[in-house]
Amino acid sequence: MTFEIFMQQLANGISIGSLYALIAIGYTMVYGILRLINFAHGDIFMMAAYFMVFSMVNFGLPWYVSMILVVIATILLGVLIEKAAYKPLRSAPRMSIMISAIGVSFLLENLATYLFTGVPKGFPDIPILTKAISFGNVSLSVVTVVTPVITIVLLYVVLFITNKTKIGMAMRAAAKDFETARLMGININRVISTTFVIGSGLAAIGAVLWGSKYPSVYPLVGVMPGLKCFIAAVLGGIGNTTGAVIGGFILGMAEIMLVSFLPSLTGYRDAIAFIILIIVLLVKPTGLLGEKVTDKV
């Protein structure tokens, strides 16, 4: 393997990793507060990609306008899902809430198949993102270079919100102890809505970047990224935002490096994430940056 190819693969790994990281933040925040795997998160991501397709292809809006519309629409969808499917089950057993999450995911997938048909749609070309630039002999698209930068910037925004603002403090309190936070007068519903706003917004941005890299949108497009990003969140220590980003990077790198160093194992690419998940759960269930939690009896 030449140096150029290695650099190219490295850049790809970092880029995919940062996409995983963006979506993983949404998982980790929801899990931190609600202790719920939001199975529908990957499908929110899928819907965001469809919104982009419609806004740019069907309504012919320029990409920057579409981008804003897509983020808003996705946030609305995320909050709507929370209000309709999770809020009524606040005091229900854990299994019901998980089934509800699976149900939403199933519903969104089927709804997308019904509304947009199962035939893949082409993701609109955003010239500013898909242009190729070259560093020496290494040629990369702008989106590959820009994605990690966007991810790091957004990570800092999220960290700022959670650490420096009032709602962020409420979020941390709710993540620590839901019931006590409620007793202390924190408006828990507002906290949860904010979490879904942030998570869905990041998923929307992730979807646009993803679409520029893999320009094909179909109803099940969110399933694999969704599961992998959850795994990234677990790997980094669920509930920890920085951990989610690190987990995303590790997962992206692991996948790309497997494919480039052992091409015969390319078919097993999707299995890597699950193998990592199982190893993490067995060796260090709290993840890399997670705190140790003791079960209350």
C-alpha distances in Å from residue 41, one per residue of 115, 136, 228: 19, 39, 11
293 burial type by CB count under 10 A (0-12 exposed, 13-18 middle, 19+ buried)? exposed
Select 124 or 237, whichever has its Cβ closest to other proteins.
237
Q: Is 110 in the site for other proteins (CB under 8 A)?
A: yes
Distance between CA 209 and CA 147 in Å, rounded?
7
3-state secondary structure of 135: strand
Q: Shortest CA distance to 244 belongs to which of 192, 290, 291?
A: 290
Binding piece for other proteins, criterion CB under 8 A, among 44-52, 71-79, 94-102, 159-167: 94-102
Residues 33-52 that bind other proteins (CB under 8 A): 35-37
From candidates 1, 2, 60, 95, binder to other proteins by CB under 8 A: 95
Interaction pattern, residues 269-288, with other proteins; x per rule: CB under 8 A? -xx-xxx-xx--xx--x---
Minimum distance of other proteins from residue 221's CB (angstroms) = 14
Radius of gyration of the chain (CA): 19
Residue 234 token pair: 């677990």
Q: Is 60 in the site for other proteins (CB under 8 A)?
A: no
- Contact residues toward other proteins (CB under 8 A) are 35-37, 85, 88-89, 92, 94-96, 98-100, 102-104, 106-107, 109-111, 113-114, 117-118, 220, 223, 227, 230-231, 234, 267-268, 270-271, 273-275, 277-278, 281-282, 285, 297
